[in-house]
Amino acid sequence: MWSLARRPRWIAALVLCLAIAAAFAGLGQWQLSNGLDRGVPVDPRAESIVPLEELAGPQQPLTTESAGRLVSFDGAALVPDDYVVLEGRLHEGDAGFWLVGHLVEETAEGEGASLAVALGWAPTEKAVASAIRELDDGPQNWSGRYYPTESPQEDDFENGAMNSMSTASLVNLWTEPPNGVYAGYLVTDDAAPGLTAIDAPAPSTEVSVNWLNVFYAIEWAVFAFFAVFLWFRLVRDAWEREQEEAEERAQEAAMPERVN
């Protein structure tokens, strides 16, 4: 059988089957990599507060290095009329409301860049309204965790509700056009008076598994094995046919001798 497999026809078929198997193996590797969602490794030294301007800048995309970092934003003031209430925000499993503010840097030249800030959580909208009256709109030093903006697609536009912490959406609601905007938003360490501090964990370092993708990866591995097995089976079938034909020819050649 192996002498048959070394014929040019079957060598070419083997190369083709191996190419197909390699393609299937590549697809399996891709599915497996998608099935394993690895958290971002966090250096323990990164859990120290650094000035936001050292990690990010206004009108610049948010990088993986800055996402989830503890930062400070000094000398910034809240714009009094730019408060937004987000609905459906969870805190320890309970749905409630976030109070979101608009921070503006105070510079020697005047107003600087803007940063959206989540000031705290409350179970009722009335509690959020009461907290707004207690806020200090003077320049302060702020600190907290810097997060990537959320997608505005999560908002319930039909019912006029705003649910997502989307910087792009907030800019359209602010009273004055900002002089540059940071791509992410800040969750403050200390909640505003009357509000509960928002849970702001560090980026996850755990590995989660999407079993559907893993199952697909196994399927591609089976297909790759089957491509090689198919070649082996075809060679074996061809060899068995040749053996049967050889036996038939031998029997036909022996028949005249028996008659004589």
* Tens of pLDDT, residue by residue, the chain (260 residues): 778 788 888 888 889 989 999 998 888 888 877 766 554 455 555 578 899 999 999 999 888 888 889 999 998 999 998 999 999 899 988 999 999 999 999 877 777 899 999 999 999 999 999 999 989 888 899 999 999 998 876 656 556 678 889 998 899 999 988 989 999 999 999 999 999 999 988 766 555 667 788 888 889 899 999 988 988 988 888 888 888 887 888 877 777 655 45
What tokens appear for 130 in the block? 């009461």
Residue 182's H or E segment, with its range, is: strand 181-188
Residue 253, pLDDT score: 78
> What's the pLDDT at 126?
92
Q: Parallel, antiparallel, or unpaired: how do β-strands 70-78 and 50-51 relate?
A: parallel
pLDDT of residue 107: 78
Q: Are strands 110-122 and 140-147 parallel, antiparallel or unpaired?
A: unpaired
Query: How many angstroms separate the CA atoms of 150 and 153, rounded?
Result: 9
Q: What is the pLDDT of residue 45?
A: 52
What is the rounded distance in angstroms from the CA atom of residue 177 to the CA atom of residue 62? 21
What is the predicted pLDDT for the residue at 70?
Answer: 92
Q: Which residues contact 165 (CB under 8 A, 6 or more apart)?
A: 86, 98, 100, 116, 118, 147, 149, 150, 185
Tokens for 71, please give them.
């930062």
